[in-house]
Amino acid sequence: MKELIEKMKLEAYVIDNRVIKVDHFINHMLDSELVFKMGKEFASAFSGVTKILTIETSGIAYALATSFHMDYVPVVFAKKVRGSQSGKEVYQSKVFSYTKQVESIISVDKNFLQENDQVLIIDDFLAKGEATAGLIDLVEQSKARLVGVGIVIEKGYEKGRERILNKGIKLRSLACIKEIKDGELIFEKEGQYA
Protein backbone atom coordinates (compact mmCIF):
# COMPACT_ATOMS: atom_id res chain seq x y z
CA MET A 1 0.00 0.00 0.00
CA LYS A 2 1.77 3.04 -1.31
CA GLU A 3 0.49 5.46 1.33
CA LEU A 4 1.67 3.23 4.21
CA ILE A 5 5.07 2.66 2.62
CA GLU A 6 5.59 6.39 2.05
CA LYS A 7 4.64 7.17 5.65
CA MET A 8 7.07 4.53 6.89
CA LYS A 9 9.86 5.93 4.72
CA LEU A 10 9.28 9.38 6.18
CA GLU A 11 8.40 8.64 9.80
CA ALA A 12 9.51 5.16 10.92
CA TYR A 13 12.88 4.77 12.53
CA VAL A 14 15.06 1.77 13.17
CA ILE A 15 16.95 0.78 16.31
CA ASP A 16 20.04 -1.45 15.97
CA ASN A 17 19.04 -2.49 12.42
CA ARG A 18 16.45 -4.72 14.09
CA VAL A 19 13.55 -2.91 15.77
CA ILE A 20 11.20 -0.85 13.61
CA LYS A 21 9.57 1.97 15.55
CA VAL A 22 6.17 2.95 14.22
CA ASP A 23 4.55 3.66 17.60
CA HIS A 24 3.41 7.12 16.58
CA PHE A 25 1.11 5.90 13.81
CA ILE A 26 0.75 2.06 13.97
CA ASN A 27 0.82 0.47 17.41
CA HIS A 28 0.75 3.05 20.20
CA MET A 29 -0.85 6.13 18.67
CA LEU A 30 -2.87 5.55 15.51
CA ASP A 31 -3.20 7.53 12.32
CA SER A 32 -6.96 6.90 12.16
CA GLU A 33 -7.39 7.94 8.53
CA LEU A 34 -4.60 5.60 7.47
CA VAL A 35 -6.00 2.77 9.62
CA PHE A 36 -9.37 2.96 7.85
CA LYS A 37 -7.67 3.06 4.45
CA MET A 38 -5.79 -0.11 5.45
CA GLY A 39 -9.09 -1.70 6.45
CA LYS A 40 -10.45 -0.88 2.99
CA GLU A 41 -7.41 -2.54 1.39
CA PHE A 42 -7.94 -5.73 3.40
CA ALA A 43 -11.68 -5.72 2.68
CA SER A 44 -11.03 -5.51 -1.06
CA ALA A 45 -8.56 -8.43 -0.91
CA PHE A 46 -10.83 -10.96 0.83
CA SER A 47 -14.45 -12.01 0.46
CA GLY A 48 -16.92 -14.37 2.11
CA VAL A 49 -15.73 -13.45 5.61
CA THR A 50 -18.08 -14.03 8.56
CA LYS A 51 -15.58 -13.31 11.38
CA ILE A 52 -12.33 -11.38 11.66
CA LEU A 53 -9.80 -12.78 14.16
CA THR A 54 -6.90 -10.87 15.65
CA ILE A 55 -4.82 -10.85 18.82
CA GLU A 56 -5.01 -8.37 21.66
CA THR A 57 -4.26 -5.50 21.47
CA SER A 58 -2.27 -4.37 18.49
CA GLY A 59 -4.42 -5.97 15.80
CA ILE A 60 -7.79 -4.75 17.04
CA ALA A 61 -7.78 -1.37 15.27
CA TYR A 62 -6.99 -2.93 11.88
CA ALA A 63 -9.54 -5.71 12.37
CA LEU A 64 -12.21 -3.17 13.26
CA ALA A 65 -11.36 -0.95 10.28
CA THR A 66 -11.60 -4.00 8.01
CA SER A 67 -14.92 -4.94 9.60
CA PHE A 68 -16.25 -1.47 8.84
CA HIS A 69 -15.50 -1.98 5.13
CA MET A 70 -17.06 -5.49 5.22
CA ASP A 71 -20.43 -4.26 6.51
CA TYR A 72 -19.53 -4.82 10.16
CA VAL A 73 -18.45 -8.44 10.21
CA PRO A 74 -17.89 -9.39 13.91
CA VAL A 75 -14.35 -9.01 15.24
CA VAL A 76 -12.99 -11.62 17.65
CA PHE A 77 -9.70 -11.08 19.43
CA ALA A 78 -7.62 -13.76 21.04
CA LYS A 79 -6.76 -12.89 24.61
CA LYS A 80 -3.47 -13.58 26.27
CA VAL A 81 -4.37 -16.06 29.00
CA ARG A 82 -3.68 -15.02 32.55
CA GLY A 83 -4.15 -17.42 35.43
CA SER A 84 -7.52 -19.16 35.60
CA GLN A 85 -8.85 -18.11 32.18
CA SER A 86 -8.01 -21.48 30.67
CA GLY A 87 -10.50 -24.30 30.47
CA LYS A 88 -12.65 -26.49 28.30
CA GLU A 89 -14.72 -23.63 26.91
CA VAL A 90 -11.85 -21.98 25.02
CA TYR A 91 -9.50 -22.75 22.17
CA GLN A 92 -5.87 -22.16 23.19
CA SER A 93 -2.50 -21.92 21.46
CA LYS A 94 1.06 -21.07 22.50
CA VAL A 95 2.75 -18.05 20.93
CA PHE A 96 6.39 -17.02 21.36
CA SER A 97 7.29 -13.34 20.94
CA TYR A 98 10.84 -12.88 19.67
CA THR A 99 10.58 -9.14 20.27
CA LYS A 100 9.64 -9.53 23.94
CA GLN A 101 11.30 -12.94 24.42
CA VAL A 102 8.24 -14.38 26.18
CA GLU A 103 5.83 -17.22 25.50
CA SER A 104 2.12 -16.54 25.91
CA ILE A 105 -0.98 -18.65 25.68
CA ILE A 106 -3.71 -17.07 23.60
CA SER A 107 -7.33 -18.10 23.80
CA VAL A 108 -10.74 -17.57 22.21
CA ASP A 109 -14.08 -18.58 23.68
CA LYS A 110 -15.54 -21.51 21.73
CA ASN A 111 -18.80 -19.59 21.28
CA PHE A 112 -17.00 -16.95 19.19
CA LEU A 113 -15.37 -19.23 16.60
CA GLN A 114 -17.51 -21.98 15.17
CA GLU A 115 -17.35 -24.57 12.44
CA ASN A 116 -19.58 -22.63 10.03
CA ASP A 117 -17.46 -19.46 10.26
CA GLN A 118 -15.26 -18.15 7.46
CA VAL A 119 -12.40 -16.40 9.22
CA LEU A 120 -10.00 -13.67 8.16
CA ILE A 121 -6.95 -13.15 10.39
CA ILE A 122 -5.67 -9.57 10.67
CA ASP A 123 -2.52 -8.48 12.54
CA ASP A 124 -0.14 -5.53 12.64
CA PHE A 125 3.22 -7.29 12.10
CA LEU A 126 4.45 -10.52 10.54
CA ALA A 127 8.02 -11.55 11.33
CA LYS A 128 8.73 -15.22 12.00
CA GLY A 129 5.00 -15.97 12.00
CA GLU A 130 4.56 -17.07 15.61
CA ALA A 131 1.47 -14.97 16.39
CA THR A 132 -0.09 -15.78 13.04
CA ALA A 133 0.58 -19.51 13.52
CA GLY A 134 -1.12 -19.32 16.92
CA LEU A 135 -4.18 -17.65 15.40
CA ILE A 136 -4.26 -20.21 12.57
CA ASP A 137 -4.15 -22.96 15.19
CA LEU A 138 -7.21 -21.47 16.93
CA VAL A 139 -9.12 -21.43 13.62
CA GLU A 140 -8.11 -25.04 12.92
CA GLN A 141 -9.25 -26.13 16.39
CA SER A 142 -12.65 -24.56 15.75
CA LYS A 143 -12.90 -26.33 12.37
CA ALA A 144 -13.86 -22.99 10.81
CA ARG A 145 -12.65 -22.17 7.28
CA LEU A 146 -9.67 -19.80 7.08
CA VAL A 147 -10.22 -17.30 4.25
CA GLY A 148 -6.78 -15.70 4.57
CA VAL A 149 -4.37 -13.53 6.54
CA GLY A 150 -3.99 -9.76 6.31
CA ILE A 151 -0.83 -8.13 7.69
CA VAL A 152 -0.11 -4.42 8.02
CA ILE A 153 3.72 -4.63 8.01
CA GLU A 154 5.68 -7.72 7.05
CA LYS A 155 9.36 -8.19 7.85
CA GLY A 156 10.02 -10.21 4.71
CA TYR A 157 13.56 -11.08 5.76
CA GLU A 158 12.21 -12.99 8.81
CA LYS A 159 10.54 -15.68 6.59
CA GLY A 160 7.12 -15.77 8.30
CA ARG A 161 5.50 -15.50 4.85
CA GLU A 162 6.76 -18.94 3.82
CA ARG A 163 5.32 -20.44 6.97
CA ILE A 164 1.84 -19.21 5.97
CA LEU A 165 2.05 -19.84 2.23
CA ASN A 166 3.34 -23.39 2.81
CA LYS A 167 -0.03 -24.12 4.44
CA GLY A 168 -1.81 -22.94 1.27
CA ILE A 169 -3.19 -19.83 2.99
CA LYS A 170 -3.82 -16.58 1.09
CA LEU A 171 -1.70 -13.74 2.50
CA ARG A 172 -1.97 -10.00 1.85
CA SER A 173 0.60 -7.66 3.39
CA LEU A 174 0.21 -3.91 2.98
CA ALA A 175 3.96 -3.22 3.28
CA CYS A 176 6.80 -5.72 3.06
CA ILE A 177 10.29 -4.83 4.25
CA LYS A 178 12.91 -6.68 2.21
CA GLU A 179 15.79 -5.72 4.49
CA ILE A 180 17.14 -3.11 6.86
CA LYS A 181 20.39 -1.60 5.67
CA ASP A 182 22.29 0.97 7.74
CA GLY A 183 19.08 1.95 9.54
CA GLU A 184 17.10 2.34 6.32
CA LEU A 185 14.03 0.29 5.45
CA ILE A 186 14.27 -1.32 2.01
CA PHE A 187 10.83 -2.39 0.75
CA GLU A 188 9.81 -5.11 -1.67
CA LYS A 189 8.19 -3.69 -4.77
CA GLU A 190 4.43 -3.49 -4.23
CA GLY A 191 2.63 -6.40 -5.84
CA GLN A 192 5.46 -8.87 -5.32
CA TYR A 193 4.11 -9.87 -1.93
CA ALA A 194 0.35 -9.43 -2.28
Q: What is the DSSP string of 60-119?
A: HHHHHHHHHHTTS--EEEEEEP-GGG-STTEEEEEEEETTTTEEEEEEEETTTS-TT-EE
Beta pairing class for 102-109 and 90-97? antiparallel
Average pLDDT of the residues of the chain: 92
C-beta of residue 148 within 8 angstroms of C-beta of residue 46: yes
Which one-letter amino acid corresponds to residue 13?
A: Y
Answer whether residue 36 shows pLDDT above 60.
yes
Answer whether residue 174 shows pLDDT above 60.
yes
Q: Give residue 85's pLDDT band: very low, low, confident or very high (50, 70, 90).
A: low
Q: Give residue 82's pLDDT band: very low, low, confident or very high (50, 70, 90).
A: low
Q: What pLDDT shows up at residue 18?
A: 81
What is the model's pTM? 0.93
Q: What pLDDT shows up at residue 87?
A: 61
Contacting residues for 110 by C-beta, under 8 A, at least 6 apart: 89, 90, 91, 142
Q: Which fold has domain 2-187?
A: Rossmann fold (3.40.50)
Mean pLDDT confidence for 139-157:
97
Answer whether residue 64 shows pLDDT above 60.
yes
Q: How far apart are CA 17 and CA 113, in angstroms?
A: 38
Q: What pLDDT shows up at residue 88?
A: 74
Backbone phi, then psi, for 105, in 5-degree steps?
-105, 125
Q: What ranges do the domains of the chain cover?
A: 2-187
Pick the residue with more confidence: 40 or 17? 40
